[in-house]
Chains A and B, each alone.
Chain A
Amino acid sequence: MLEFQFESLMAFLAMAPHGAYVWPVYILGLLILGGLTWVNLRQHRQAIRLIKRQLEREETHES
């Protein structure tokens, strides 16, 4: 049932005559999913950095 529909890898990449429509959509999808993952990680790291700084300030204030 699973049969590769293209004659070669080049034909797959060209996806004639619609490669110029299909590939950019998938690349944008990848960028958006990857971008959101990166934004979440950055936001998480920033929050932790902020809390660490706050803890350090509290420690110096106590001592």
Chain B
Amino acid sequence: MSWRWFHQWGSPRWFYERAGRWQLVCGWLALILLVVGSLWGLGFAPVDYQQGNSYRIIYLHVPVAFLAQAMYAAMAVCAVVLFVWKMKLADVAMQAIAVTGLAFTVLSLVSGAVWGKPTWGTYWVWDARLTSMLILGFLYLGLIGLRAAIQDPDQAGKACGILVLVGVVNLPIIKYSVEWWNTLHQPASLKLTEKPTMPASMWMPLLVNILGYYIAAAYLVLGSMRAIVIGRERRASWVKELVGRA
């Protein structure tokens, strides 16, 4: 088996040139999916017989909450790649994902709190799911702070990689919090292994938005990675050549 596909990721130039094109495709695709999915969920999905229209927050809340966790898992994969293969791009990805992941975590916490008010009668409870998500937010914040505190990018990458791997323990806690403890938060709305508990007219727009937000996250991470790569590689001849030509 050829490992060329893997080794090319070791070249910042290869990544920078291609990521621009990937970003363009992801950007437009995400925009189309999110406009379709959000309008579908907000205007065309049926009203919930118990929650009324407030349940329409689901079309934003569930995708961003999924992503907040998936992005942390992606950072952990990057940390492993950084430690095993010493691939610089994995560190760049960790740096880019931390900021985007924090944004999605904040959005998931705020949208959940706003949804909680009409549904539970309160914006916040110190319940296992909500608290473990808050801890995820602090982990992202800690990573951003740690990187900012260490000047040498290589050292910063290693320190962040260790913190990312330690923090992975929080992911199963978030996932199983609704089963291990009595929580106000409902169990998962969509599972890969089971039939959805909602009718198709409700989960189909949710699926479109989940896909849309995933692609939007890819667009944002790629954009951030390109900016970080060109900044870090500013002394490389290919960067000088590229900027000199522009």
Q: Give the interface of A toward B (CB within 8 A).
A: 1-6, 12, 15-19, 21-22, 24-26, 28-29, 32-33, 35-37, 39-41, 43-44, 47-48, 50-52, 54-55
Contacts and interface: CB of A to CB of B under 8 A. Distances in A.
Task: Determine chain A's interface SS by DSSP, over half rule.
Answer: helix
B62 interface: no
B42 interface: yes
Nearest to B241: A55
A4 B46 CA distance: 9
Contact of A36 (B45, B53, B220, B230): B220
A17 to B, nearest CB: 7
Contacts of B103: 32, 35-36
Task: Determine chain B's interface SS by DSSP, over half rule.
Answer: helix
A33 B47 contact: no
CB-CB nearest 8 A-B residue pairs: A40-B223, A18-B54, A44-B227, A43-B227, A47-B231, A18-B53, A51-B243, A25-B111
A59 to B, nearest CB: 10
23 contacts: A1-B201, A4-B43, A5-B44, A5-B45, A6-B43, A12-B42, A15-B42, A18-B56, A18-B118, A22-B57, A28-B111, A32-B106, A36-B220, A37-B219, A37-B223, A39-B99, A40-B227, A44-B223, A44-B226, A47-B231, A51-B240, A51-B243, A55-B240
Given A32-B107, A36-B100, A47-B231, A26 B38 contact: yes
A55 B240 CA distance: 7
Nearest to A25: B111
Given A4-B43, A22-B42, A33 B118 contact: no
B172 to A, nearest CB: 27
B201 A29 contact: no
A41 B117 contact: no
B52 interface: yes
Interface string B219-246: 1100110111011001000011001101
